[in-house]
Each structure stands twice: as structure tokens, then as C-alpha cells.
Amino acid sequence: MHIDVVSIFPEYLAPLRMSLLGKAMTDGIIDFATHDLRDFTHDRHRTVDAPPYGGGAGMVMKPEPWGEALDHLRGAGDGSRPTLLVPTPAGHRFSQAMARDLARREWLIFACGRYEGIDQRVIDDAAGWAEVIPFSLGDYVLNGGEVASMAVIEAVGRLIPGVVGNPESLVEESHSDGLLEYPSYTKPRVWRDREVPEILLSGDHAKIAAWRAEQSRRRTAVTRPDLLHSSQVLAPDDLAEGS
Ligand code: SAM
């Protein structure tokens, strides 16, 4: 998969080159490149923003550098249609389902806004040559699109075959089946007088699976009841403290 990120702070993305994603880049599974938006300006101050038409607070990112940057990426491509991901609090809420969908694509471009965001004409113009997906990381406002893009790149990258060593670990985790994952325990068996639940030491795989499924359902009911299907009824003690 090719991933391009355009930003006025390309160095912000550096941590993505660490750990599992970094190895996937070294191994050639992910071809990752960052691009400085200011390289596509032509004035002495490398200006990327201007006041908004219609008035109001803040500055808006100018269309010309964005247009040139995206044209540059498009020209360097192989003619295939990329997916242009635009982080914005006004976008579709990012989810594991979106991550799964994006992980099957060949080429992702992230356009990281700053200030009050990017001139809308850039997004409208790009829809002529890319699939444009405005996405939001959640219902809050960040200073820029870099952190949101990093979160998406990590969530998508780990789903690409070969990136995570044991693909089994992608199956049994939160949001893979619509529920949150059950609590996990490891050695030692007793820590600060707290014991590992007895069932996990029983060696009875069927009972362990049933216990985990119940824990998973309970945790979802308490923390994220919105995730439960309407057909699943909450048990009265689901909402009790420490249940
Ligand atoms: N004026 C914009 C609004 O109210 O919708 C917010 C601009 S925000 C200060 C600057 C940039 O941060 C946005 O262009 C976007 O790239 C990024 N950003 C902020 N919050 C975000 C979120 N929840 N999800 C994704 N990107 C976000």
C-alpha cells in the first residue's frame, strides 16, 4: 500500500516509522511518504493561509498550494484512483469498519488541515480524480489533521497482511465482532492480593471461551451500550459497579 501525507508539519508523522509500521515500511509492505505543503508555495514567506471570505475568526488554508501538492502526487502516481482522506471534525466518524475497508486499498493520501481547515474548493476539485473521504476521529476539535491521520494510518496499517506477526491477534480484539474485548491477565497468578480469575487456570477451553464472551458482553453493556445490537437485552446487574 502507498500512503502519502501532506502537512505543514511533515515531521509530526515521524513516530509512524517506529515499531510494527516502521518494520512494514522497511519490509516494503507499506510505502510511506510525507510532503511539506510549504514546498508548493511561491512567495518569500511560504504562505499557506489567508483570512476567510465572509469574515470570521481564524485563517483558512489557501487552495493554490494544496492544488499543486495534490497535482504533484497525482502526477507521480501510476494512473490509479487514490483515496483522499481529509481529517475534519465535520467528517464521517472513523471506525474499525472503515479501517477494514481502507486496508484493502492500494493508495491513500492524507490532507492534513490546520487553522480553520482547507478551502472547500480543494476537496471539491479532488473529487474529480480521487475518492474523497472526510473523516473525524471523534466529537472534539484538534489543532491539526496530523494526529487524526496518524491514528487512521496505524489502525489501517496493522490490518494489512504481514504487518502484525500473529494475524490471530486481529480476530479476537475490541470492535472485531462489534463488542469490546474481555479483560486480560498474565503472570503472576497473585499480585497485590488480587488473583487471576480461577476459570482462566482451569484448562477448560470451552468454559474459558464462554466466560470471556460473557465478560465481553458485560463490559460492552457498561462502557459502550450503544454498541450492543438492539436484540441483545441488558441484564439489570450489567450496570452495577464492578459487576
Ligand atoms: N474550523 C474547523 C471546524 O470547526 O470544523 C476546525 C479546524 S481544526 C482547529 C484544524 C484541523 O484539525 C482541521 O482542519 C482538521 O484537519 C483537524 N481536526 C480537528 N479536529 C479533528 C477531528 N475531530 N477529527 C479529524 N481531524 C480533526
pLDDT, tens digit, 9 for 90 and up, residues 187-240: 999 999 999 999 999 999 999 999 999 999 999 999 999 998 644 444 445 544
Cα 77 to the center of its chain, rounded Å: 23
Gap from CA of 98 to ligand 1 centroid (Å): 19
In this predicted structure, what is the pLDDT of residue 202? 98
Whole-prediction pTM value? 0.92
Report the residue among 49, 139, 142, 153 best suited for mutation to probe ligand 1: largest number of ligand atoms under 8 A from its CB: 142
130 lines ligand 1 (CB under 6 A): no
**CB 123, CB 132: distance < 8 Å:** yes
Nearest CA to ligand 1 atom 6: 116
In this predicted structure, what is the pLDDT of residue 233? 41
Task: Give residues with Cβ within 8 angstroms of 78, minimum separation 6.
Answer: none
Q: Which residues on adjacent β-strands are paired with residue 34? A: 5
Binding site residue list for S-adenosyl-L-methionine: 113, 137-142
140 lines ligand 1 (CB under 6 A): yes
Average pLDDT of adjacent 10-residue blocks, the chain of 243 residues:
98 98 98 98 98 98 98 95 98 96 98 98 98 98 98 98 89 85 97 98 98 96 87 46 42
138 lines ligand 1 (CB under 6 A): yes
DSSP string computed for 203-234: --HHHHHHHHHHHHHHHHHHH-GGGS-TTSPP
In this predicted structure, what is the pLDDT of residue 177? 84
